[in-house]
Amino acid sequence: MPDVLVLVDHDGERVHKCTYELLTAARRLGDPAAVVVGTPGTAARLEEPLARHGATSVYAAESTEADEFLATPAVDALELAVREVSPAAVLVSATTDGKEVAGRLAARLDGGLLIDAVDVDSCGVATQVVFGGSYTVRSQVTHGLPVITLRPGSFEPEERPVEARARQLALPPVDRVASARVTARRAALAGDRPELTEATVVVSGGRGVGGADGFKVVEQLADALGGAVGASRAAVDAGYYPHQYQVGQTGKSVSPQLYIALGISGAIQHLAGMQTSKTILAVNKDPEAPILGLADYAVVGDLFAVAPQLAQEVAARRAVG
């Protein structure tokens, strides 16, 4: 079977869950081949978990300056791998960085680009949710190499242990004039909760939360469920919660197993970022709120009464067993 290149999303020590999802999706199209871009030694640290999730080859695209530039090293690495193995497709996670890499790679190779897919079949036909979530379409590349970005959470990672072949890619020197360089790094605020796009449970608050203090109810329910906290654009714009937690068309797209919307009306912008969640529970005082029509389970009521009771019940059941 032909190789399917997968760009590995990692922090230097840990492979992100979205990469395991890509490896699972890649098996529908061929043999998954992981491309690791980083400083020397990175690929060796990540090879075991990648092989455990089905990567038949692990390409090490390493250089001392790989972490100093945005996108360019990853695009260079994927281009080298494509020239070497002539893959059936290239899969990249549909993060902000991933979309940048995929777009530039497709332009370099004169290939076809499919953005933010939520599924892909064995023939390379991708399913996408478009126009702010108004339509679901199926698309297929008809010219050149398919470069597909998959929305995190679209696939359930599956372990498929194999013996991976370690291979090397010699990254060329980065054009320092034409490439964006990282001049400083600042750690984002983070806690013990899972990362938003990788969480299996997401609890989001909207304008109905009423203020920053109101988000304590959202956090308590998220913690009871072991989930991540999200926010609607209205809540972020009002200063209720930091912008990096925004879910929606101009924020992050999520597809958790369970999405709980507290005090969120359901503007199209928000629905575009979460409507592919496997199960949706919405709590809103307004019986006409659009999100109630999308939800699998809808509660018309005061979130400040419903959410604490739900958190208490979850905690009680976990304590029992």
Does the annotation place 160 within a ligand binding site?
A: no
- Helix/strand/coil percentages in the chain, nearest 5: 30, 25, 40
Does the annotation place 247 within a ligand binding site?
A: yes
Nearest 5°: CA angle at 230, between 37 and 158? Answer: 50
Does the annotation place 93 within a ligand binding site?
A: no
How far is 315 from 84, CA to CA, in rounded Å? 53
- Rounded to the nearest angstrom, the gap between the alpha carbon of residue 264 and the centroid of all alpha carbons in its chain is 22
Does the annotation place 115 within a ligand binding site?
A: no
Does the annotation place 318 within a ligand binding site?
A: no
How far is 174 from 123, CA to CA, in rounded Å? 35
User: 87 and 111 in contact (C-beta within 8 Å)?
Assistant: no
Does the annotation place 267 within a ligand binding site?
A: yes
Does the annotation place 261 within a ligand binding site?
A: no
Does the annotation place 63 within a ligand binding site?
A: no
Does the annotation place 148 within a ligand binding site?
A: no
Does the annotation place 134 within a ligand binding site?
A: no
Does the annotation place 174 within a ligand binding site?
A: no
User: 153 and 144 in contact (C-beta within 8 Å)?
Assistant: no
Does the annotation place 112 within a ligand binding site?
A: no
Does the annotation place 314 within a ligand binding site?
A: no
Does the annotation place 181 within a ligand binding site?
A: no
Does the annotation place 165 within a ligand binding site?
A: no
Does the annotation place 128 within a ligand binding site?
A: no
Provide the annotated binding site.
207, 232-233, 246-250, 263-270, 284
Provide the annotated binding site for FAD.
207, 232-233, 246-250, 263-270, 284
